[in-house]
Chains A and B, each alone.
Chain A
Amino acid sequence: MIRAHVLICGGTGCTSSGSASIQKAFAENIEAFGLSDEVKLVQTGCFGLCELGPVVIVYPDGTFYSRVTVDDVKEIVEEHLLKGRKVDRLVYDETGDNAPEIEGNVALSDTVFYKSQNRVVLRNCGVINPESIDEYIAMDGYAALGKVLTEMTPEQVIQVVKDSGLRGRGGGGFPTGLKWSLAAPNKADQKYVVCNADEGDPGAFMDRSVLEGDPHCLVEAMIIAGYAIGATKGYVYVRAEYPIAVERLQKAIDDAREYGLLGKDIFGSGFDFDLFIRLGAGAFVCGEETALMTSIEGNRGEPRPRPPYPAVKGLFGKPTVENNVETFANIPQIILKGADWFASMGTEKSKGTKVFALGGKIAHTGLVEIAMGTTLRHIIDEIGGGIPNGKKFKAAQTGGPSGGCIPAHLIDTPVDYDNLTAIGCMMGSGGLIVMDEDNCMVDMAKFFLEFTVDESCGKCTPCRVGTKRLLEMLDKITSGKGTLEDIDRLEELCYYIKANSLCGLGQTAPNPVLSTLNFFRDEYIAHVVDKKCPAGVCKDLLKFVIDKDKCIGCGLCAKNCPANAITKTDYIAPGHKLASYTIDTDKCVKCGVCIDNCKFKAISKI
C-alpha cells in the first residue's frame, strides 16, 4: 500500500538542473531500501520556484526540498522515507539561502511564495503527473467538458465565458467571450480553434509551464471552445524549442483520443472534435495571430491586414477562434465553478488571475500566479523575495519587447490591464523582468530593440527599416555620440512606427523606448549631455581608474588584466611600501576584471 508520494519537478528549469538523474537516483534508492511498495515516485510539472530547483516534495507531509542533488537522494530516502526524519538542511527555508534553518516542517502552502498566490491556471502544475490522464481526471479533469456537452448549449457556454469577464492572456486583453460570440454565428463547412503557444518574449515561460505541467487542461478547454463556436478541428501552434512541452502535449492528445475524449461523438453527445500540433520554428512574428495562421497553412509566417478578422476569415480562410494557452487554461475552471466565482477575483475590468514569469534581479526567479489587482510591490518584495544583494529596485519590464517599464515610484500600481496601459505599459503575456540600480535603462531599451530588429519579418517598411534606424540612434546615444536632437528624433520615429506598422510586432516595438523616455529621460540626457552612463553599463562612456592613494601596489590587477593596460607608476602613496598602478584608458577593454581582483577597492568606474 502506498503511504508516501515523492513529487519531482520535471519542468524545464528543474530538468536542466538535473531532475531526471535525481528521479533515477530516487528510483534506485527506494528499491534498495525495499520501499517500492510503499513509496510512489511522480514526475510533475513546474512548481514555480525555479530558482531553488531541482525541487522535490514529499507527501503526505508536504515537505519541500530545494536544490536537491543526486548525492542528497540516499539521505532523503533513508532518513525521511524510511525513518521519518526530515533532512532539515535541504528543506526550503522561505527566505532564500541565508535564513537560519527552520525546525521541522514548512508546508508548501504556508510559504510566503505560495501563500500569496492564487493558483487557478497553475492549480495542477506541480501536483499531478502531466503524463497521466487518470490523475488529471482525478482532479476534476474533463468534468467541465462533460458538463458542457451534456447540459449546456453552445450559447450558454459563450454566455458563461462572457459573464466571467475573462480577457485574452496573450497580451492584448480582448474579451474572450466576445471573441467566441463573433465566430459562433458565422456559417462555414469547417471552423477552427487555434491555440497560440508560440511564446516568444525573452524571459517568458508561463505557457511553457502550463503545457509541461497540465497539458490536458488545454486539450479540454479547446474542445469546449470548439463546441461553443461549432468547430470540429483544432490546432496548437507551439514552438519546436519547447521539446518537453511538445512531447507531453502530444501524449495528452494521444491519451485523450484513446479515451474517446477527442474524436467522434464525445460523451455520446454527437459532437466531434480533434486536435493537432503544429510546430513553429521560433519566429517571434508567428505569435501574431494572422502570421501564426499563415504559418499553420504552410506558408512563410507573415502577418496580413485585418479586417477580415479571424472570426470571419481565419485559418484556411475559415472562421477561427484563436486564444493563448493561459486563456484556455482558465476555461474548465470557469465552467465548473461558474462565472461569478471567476469574476469575484481581480479588479473591475480585469477578472481572475494572471501568471507571471519572474526574472532578472529577483531572489525567487520563477513562476507565480496572482489575482489581478495585486500590486507590483507585493509581487516583487513578498512573493519574489525582493532584490538580491541589497540593491535598490529601479524598474520592472512587463510585456517583453512589446511592453514598457514600471518605475520605482509606481511600484504600488495594482497590476491589471487598464492600470498598466494607463502608465504606458502593457500586461503582455506575463514576462516580468526586474531591474535594479545597476541596470541602464537606455541599454535595456537597446536590448529589446535588437530583438525586434532581428525578429521583424520585413513585410512592412515602418517596422523593417524603422526599428533598424531606432537601434542605430540608440547605439549612437549609448556610445556617447548622441545629441539632444537625436532624442527628439528618436521619439518622433517611435510614434511613426507605432502608427504605420502592419501588425502588433511593429506597432509595439517602440514601446520599450517610449516608456524609458517617459520615465527615465534623465538617463538619456546623461548619456548625450554629460557623456555618462549613470548605471555604469554602457562601456563607451565608462573609464576605469585607480585611486593612486588607495592602491597598495600589490599588482593583482595588472597580473589579471587581459589587455595589459595596467602598469606600475613611480608614485608611492603615504603609508604604503610599493608604487601604485595606473590604467591606460586607450588599451583598457573595460572588462571589469581589475575591479573584481582589487581587494582594496582602489579601482572604480567613472
Chain B
Amino acid sequence: MKSLAELQAIKERMKDKVILREGVNATRVVVGMATCGIAAGARPVLNTFVEEVNALGLMETVTVSQTGCIGLCQYEPIVEIYESGKEKVTYVKVDAEKAKRIANEHLKGGKVVNEYTIGANQ
C-alpha cells in the first residue's frame, strides 16, 4: 500500500458491509414476516427496503428488520416504521413498488405516504 487514499478506499468499500453490526439505529423499519406476511408477499418487500436503504445511503440511520405476526393478517404485508420522538407509522398491504416509494418519500424525504397507511385503508 503506497498511500492513505488506498486505505481510505478500502474502508469506504467495506463500511457498508460491517455497519449492520453497530446495532439498532434511530429509525427502524420492521416488516411483518410471519407465515401470513410471507404468504402475502413480505419477502420482496423486505428485500426492497434493504436495497433502497443502501441505495439511498441511509445505512447509518435506518435499520431494517423483521418481526412476527402483528395480528392483522388481512392487511399483510405490514410494515411499521419507528422513528425516535415520533409516533409509529403502520403501512399495510405493501408491495415492492410501494416499499420503494415509502423508502424514498418517508425514510429519505421525511414525509409519511398517507395513502398506504393503515388509517387510509380501514
> Which A residues are closer than 8 A to B by beta carbons?
1-5, 7, 38, 40, 59-62, 82-85, 107-109, 127-128, 134-135, 137-140, 142-143, 146, 150, 259-261, 265-268
Contact = CB atoms under 8 A, between A and B. Distances in A.
Contacts of A266: 1
A392 B23 CA distance: 38
A134 B10 CA distance: 7
Contact of A2 (B11, B17, B65): B17
Given A82-B33, A84-B68, A85-B34, A260 B10 contact: no
Contact of B14 (A7, A84, A127, A138): A138
Given A7-B21, A38-B50, A128-B18, 16 more contacts: A2-B50, A60-B25, A60-B63, A83-B33, A107-B24, A109-B23, A134-B17, A135-B18, A137-B7, A138-B10, A138-B11, A142-B7, A146-B4, A150-B4, A266-B1, A267-B3
Contact of B68 (A85, A143, A261): A85
B11 A84 contact: no
25 contacts: A1-B51, A2-B20, A3-B46, A3-B50, A4-B65, A5-B20, A59-B20, A60-B20, A60-B21, A60-B23, A60-B25, A60-B64, A61-B24, A83-B68, A84-B66, A84-B67, A84-B68, A85-B67, A107-B23, A134-B10, A137-B10, A137-B11, A139-B18, A143-B11, A267-B4
B72 to A, nearest CB: 15
Interface string B22-44: 01110000011111001000000
A579 B109 CA distance: 87
B18 A138 contact: yes
B67 A137 contact: no
Nearest to A4: B20
A259 B10 CA distance: 11
Contact of A137 (B14, B20, B34, B63): B14
A116 to B, nearest CB: 18
B66 A261 contact: no
Nearest to A266: B1
A40 B19 CA distance: 13
Contact of B21 (A127, A143, A265): A127
A368 B68 CA distance: 34
Contacts of B33: 82-84
A430 to B, nearest CB: 26
Nearest to A37: B47
B83 to A, nearest CB: 16
Given A59-B21, A60-B24, A260 B34 contact: no
Contacts of B46: 3
B15 interface: yes
B2 interface: yes
Given A60-B64, A85-B68, A265 B18 contact: no
Interface residues of B, number: 34
A62 B17 contact: no
Most buried by B among A59, A109, A150: A59
B38 A260 contact: no
A268 B3 CA distance: 6
B54 interface: yes
Nearest to A63: B65
A84 B51 CA distance: 18
B2 A135 contact: no
A5 B19 CA distance: 10
Most buried by A among B18, B33, B67: B18
Contacts of B20: 2-5, 59-60
Nearest to B18: A138
Most buried by B among A3, A150, A259: A3
A135 B34 contact: no
B60 to A, nearest CB: 12
B110 to A, nearest CB: 21
B68 A3 contact: no
Contact of A62 (B4, B7, B18, B23): B23
A549 to B, nearest CB: 59
B47 A1 contact: yes
A142 B5 CA distance: 12
A151 B115 CA distance: 56
Contacts of A267: 1-4, 7
Contacts of B10: 134, 137-138
A65 to B, nearest CB: 15
Given A83-B33, A268-B2, A61 B47 contact: no
A137 B18 CA distance: 11
Nearest to B10: A137
Contacts of B21: 5, 7, 59-60, 127
Contacts of B13: 134
Nearest to B67: A84
Nearest to A110: B23
A138 B13 CA distance: 8
B50 A83 contact: no
Nearest to B14: A138
Q: Give 8 nearest A-B pairs by CB, closest first.
A: A84-B66, A138-B14, A84-B33, A85-B68, A3-B50, A260-B1, A268-B2, A60-B63
Most buried by A among B20, B31, B50, B51: B20
Given A134-B10, A138-B17, A62 B47 contact: no
Nearest to B52: A1
Contacts of B68: 83-85
Contacts of B47: 1, 3, 38
A297 B33 CA distance: 62
Contacts of A138: 10-11, 14-15, 17-18
A62 B24 contact: yes
A61 B2 CA distance: 38
B32 to A, nearest CB: 8
Given A62-B23, A260-B1, A265-B2, A135 B14 contact: yes
B64 to A, nearest CB: 6
A522 to B, nearest CB: 50
Most buried by B among A82, A83, A134, A261: A83
A83 B35 contact: yes
A602 B72 CA distance: 62
Nearest to A256: B1
Nearest to B38: A83
Interface string B60-94: 00011111100000000000000000000000000
A582 to B, nearest CB: 62
Contacts of B11: 137-138, 140, 143
